Chain A
Amino acid sequence: DVKVTQSSRYLVKRTGEKVFLECVQDMDHENMFWYRQDPGLGLRLIYFSYDVKMKEKGDIPEGYSVSREKKERFSLILESASTNQTSMYLCASSSIIQGVRLNTEAFFGQGTRLTVV
């Protein structure tokens, strides 16, 4: 079974702290994604990566950065956490079809519920 593991299920951080959310996948997937999910807003893409050291902005990248030093690991970084970044964060991974950067089935982690106080 494909497994996408997020380092924490629940996290409480203080305003201004630097926060790292870690995600690891075990299926050698090329693509990895970070989403945030808020009530009434659905899932919104923050960043995604289609290869090691490659990243592209999603719909809401402001206030976030990412790091992908190894294929299996994709980190989301909140440089200076703010209360409006309190949310559920979901990591996902997927493979590509025949060299085309097209998503196949994406596998999601269980999510990290981050509270910034």
Chain B
Amino acid sequence: LAKTTQPISMDSYEGQEVNITCSHNNIATNDYITWYQQFPSQGPRFIIQGYKTKVTNEVASLFIPADRKSSTLSLPRVSLSDTAVYYCLVNTNAGKSTFGDGTTLTVKP
């Protein structure tokens, strides 16, 4: 299984764009990259998923370079409510997902 590496924590201020990078050097050809957000005492919530290049939805963008050994979650104009733990996941085609340690994002006023 491809292992992921993320920064343990990041700080930002309201209104800024936040980029969280995840390293997954051993990603396999069929693997997708998925990001989740988790608030305290809640289960993780899906943010975005992609395979290559760029994916954008209403809350985030996901950038994946051609070699796919890393990916960057971009959160535009963060607010205090974006303070959470963000997990990068590499999905194998065996349907088995392993979460990494996550990045604790703290948004300050």
User: How many Å from the CB of B55 to the closest CB on chain A?
Assistant: 13
B85: nearest residue on chain A (CB-CB)?
Answer: A42
Q: Which of A41, A50, A59 contacts B98 (CB 8 A)?
A: A59
Any B CB within 8 A of the CB of A28: no
- Tally of B interface residues using CB under 8 Å: 24
A31 CA to B46 CA in the complex, in Å? Answer: 16
The answer to whether B95 touches A109 (Cβ under 8 A) is no
Chain B positions within 8 Å of A35 at CB level: 99
With A102-B93, A103-B97 already in contact, the answer to whether A111 and B34 are too (CB < 8 A) is no
B101 touches A45 (CB 8 A): no
- Interface of A with B (CB < 8 Å)? 4, 31, 33, 35, 41-45, 48, 50, 56, 58-59, 90, 92, 94, 96, 100-111
- Can you list 14 residue pairs at the A/B interface with Cβ under 8 Å? A35-B99, A42-B87, A43-B87, A43-B99, A56-B94, A58-B98, A92-B43, A94-B95, A101-B93, A101-B95, A102-B93, A103-B32, A106-B44, A110-B41
